[in-house]
Amino acid sequence: MHFHDEDTITALATAPGVGAISIIRISGSISFESVDQIFVGKQKIVNTPTHTIHYGKIVDRNNEIVDDVLVSVFRNPNSYTGEDSVEISTHGSSYIVEKIIAALVETGIRLAEPGEFSKRAFLNGKLDLAQAEAVADVINSRTEASLRGARNQLDGLLSSKVKSLRKMLIEISSLIELELDFVEENIELIPLSEITKKISAIENEIESLLQTYSFGRVIKDGVNVALVGKTNVGKSSLLNYLLKEARAIVSHIPGTTRDIIREELYIDGILFKIYDTAGIRHTEDEVEKEGVVRSKDAVKNADIILFMNDIKEKFAEGLYGYITGQSGSERVIIVANKLDLGDEISFKADVKISCITGEGIENLFSLLKKKAIGSYSYTEKTAIVSNLRHYNALRKSRQNLKNAQYSISAKFSNEFIAVDLRNAENSLGEIVGEITSDDILNNIFAKFCIGK
């Protein structure tokens, strides 16, 4: 393989710091020669077959032993990057790692840039762009759901869907372009109504992909949930109940919470970021005033608002108006708290709970889940969009298809339709990296960490 004649690079691939072992990665045409200059084992690494592991010692310039190590050998094209690669497993000391990397650099190779191993894997055709991005997501995943979503993308579900849509588009545009050759003779090879139908089918597929984004984003990044309400309704009590610890101060004195308290909670593998806020009321207290300002910010930034009310009290109509004015009623769950004091209620609540007995909390969980992911059911086979870049590219593509449909209905010449279709194709191509620029690539890989 080796399409790209590049430098040989090295970096620590495991997390920096102390650990049982650390792994140093080396990739590029002189990987084996470079390692042989500092490695003493039974045989030279250049002579070893691919996918073998070798015990030996790393020695420094003065022939002092730095560490005993295991060296794994991967010959191109059967490595992560597609190039000749080596992984050196050392004892997990950052001092040892630093010494070995310095020794490697002295042999004439250089330090890798962030994401450079994955970038090479992409450039050598080992992964497409969406898959390379999924590597980052797999590494960053913290929940079952986010891991499954990232795996789904790494396994190429999104890529193969996008590639097949792109192929269909290319077929349509070649028909249109073919027809351009016959314009003089005024022959219509396929009726435009056929073309319209085919484009609509692709538009629908793109639409369904776009609809997975809110779900994809939730499983990847989690959901922001703000606990909002008047003072003393039990917002902090709910936070504490959910966390099973006395995280926030709770008291019968109104205006207890002033700062925002942020904590994380997993419900069925989905990450909920919970924000306990200051109760919203009119106040002359400077500190509390600032707390109220922050609560209002939290309302703006939340994906879901748990609007808390005391079941014994009047519904906070004015505050509800404010919240829905900011964010609509879609994102709000009306909670009636203190159910243990009696279930008579003067307002309409989505759920009744008690932070003392825990009654109703399960119902609250199902409402939260429903608001977060809707009725979306997750199957291993569905392609999911979880990356903003992909989402935007799909939207661009959809817009270009709309333009094409317009060109057809307005009876524009086929040249116009062809241009719209070409643009739609290119937007899809950007997702998997079939169409790309250095800028896009550098931008994507620069966000990776070193060694990836």
Residues that bind ligand GTP (CB under 6 A): 229, 231-237, 250-252, 254-257, 278-279, 337-338, 340-341, 354-356
Residues 6+ apart with CB under 8 A from 315: 309, 346, 347
Looking at the Cβ atoms of 90 and 295, the one nearer to Mg ion is: 295
Helix (H), strand (E) at residue 65: strand 65-74
Reference 100, options 66, 53, 56; nearest CA is 66
251 binds, among Mg ion, ligand GTP, none (CB under 5 to 8 A by kind): ligand GTP
418 binds, among Mg ion, ligand GTP, none (CB under 5 to 8 A by kind): none
140 binds, among Mg ion, ligand GTP, none (CB under 5 to 8 A by kind): none
Measured CA to CA, the distance from residue 312 to residue 346 in angstroms comes to: 8
Q: How far is the CB of 238 from Mg ion (least distance, A)?
A: 9
Measured CA to CA, the distance from residue 297 to residue 176 in angstroms comes to: 52
Q: How far is the CB of 430 from ligand GTP (least distance, A)?
A: 47
76 is an interface residue for Mg ion by CB under 5 A: no
Q: How far is the CB of 237 from ligand GTP (least distance, A)?
A: 3
CA distance readout (Å), 189 to 48, 178, 192, 198, 221: 60, 9, 9, 15, 49
- Under a CB-based contact definition with an 8 Å cutoff, are residues 402 and 207 in contact? no
Site for Mg ion in 344-373 (CB under 5 A): none
Q: How far is the CB of 254 from ligand GTP (least distance, A)?
A: 5
b/e sequence 407-422, b meaning 16+ C-beta within 10 Å: bbeeeeebebbbbbbb
Looking at the Cβ atoms of 311 and 431, the one nearer to ligand GTP is: 311
208 binds, among Mg ion, ligand GTP, none (CB under 5 to 8 A by kind): none
Looking at the Cβ atoms of 213 and 307, the one nearer to ligand GTP is: 307
CA distance readout (Å), 402 to 22, 188, 203: 52, 22, 8
232 is an interface residue for Mg ion by CB under 5 A: no
Reference 56, options 70, 44, 45; nearest CA is 70
Q: Side by side, which strands form the sheet with 52-59?
A: 39-41, 52-59, 65-74, 85-92, 19-27, 9-12, 110-111
Measured CA to CA, the distance from residue 98 to residue 18 in angstroms comes to: 12
Looking at the Cβ atoms of 295 and 427, the one nearer to Mg ion is: 295
Looking at the Cβ atoms of 252 and 348, the one nearer to ligand GTP is: 252
295 is an interface residue for Mg ion by CB under 5 A: no
Looking at the Cβ atoms of 227 and 418, the one nearer to ligand GTP is: 227
Q: How far is the CB of 301 from ligand GTP (least distance, A)?
A: 19
Q: How far is the CB of 297 from Mg ion (least distance, A)?
A: 16
Looking at the Cβ atoms of 240 and 407, the one nearer to ligand GTP is: 240
- Under a CB-based contact definition with an 8 Å cutoff, are residues 331 and 371 in contact? yes
- Among 236, 309, 337, 414, the residue binding Mg ion under the rule CB under 5 A is 236
Looking at the Cβ atoms of 307 and 448, the one nearer to ligand GTP is: 307
254 binds, among ligand GTP, Mg ion, none (CB under 5 to 8 A by kind): ligand GTP
**Residue carrying structure tokens 């817009």:** 399
Measured CA to CA, the distance from residue 386 to residue 300 in angstroms comes to: 22
What 8-state DSSP symbol labels residue 341? G
Helix (H), strand (E) at residue 73: strand 65-74
For residues 133, 138, 143, 144, the Cα torsion angle rounded to the nearest 10 degrees is 110
- Helix spans in 4-128 (H): 31-36, 94-106, 116-123
Q: How far is the CB of 302 from ligand GTP (least distance, A)?
A: 16
257 is an interface residue for Mg ion by CB under 5 A: yes
354 binds, among ligand GTP, Mg ion, none (CB under 5 to 8 A by kind): ligand GTP
- Under a CB-based contact definition with an 8 Å cutoff, are residues 247 and 240 in contact? yes
Looking at the Cβ atoms of 19 and 255, the one nearer to Mg ion is: 255
Bridge partners for 87 per DSSP: 25, 72
The radius of gyration computed from the CA coordinates of the chain, to the nearest angstrom, equals 29
Measured CA to CA, the distance from residue 118 to residue 141 in angstroms comes to: 17
Looking at the Cβ atoms of 231 and 426, the one nearer to ligand GTP is: 231
Residue, CB closest to ligand GTP: 279
429 binds, among ligand GTP, Mg ion, none (CB under 5 to 8 A by kind): none
Region from 66-74, 182-190, 231-239, 314-322 binding Mg ion, contact rule CB under 5 A: 231-239
Looking at the Cβ atoms of 215 and 307, the one nearer to ligand GTP is: 307
CA pseudo-torsion sign 407, 409, 413, 419: positive
Q: How far is the CB of 368 from ligand GTP (least distance, A)?
A: 17
Q: How far is the CB of 323 from Mg ion (least distance, A)?
A: 17
Q: Which residues bind Mg ion (CB under 5 A)?
A: 235-236, 256-257
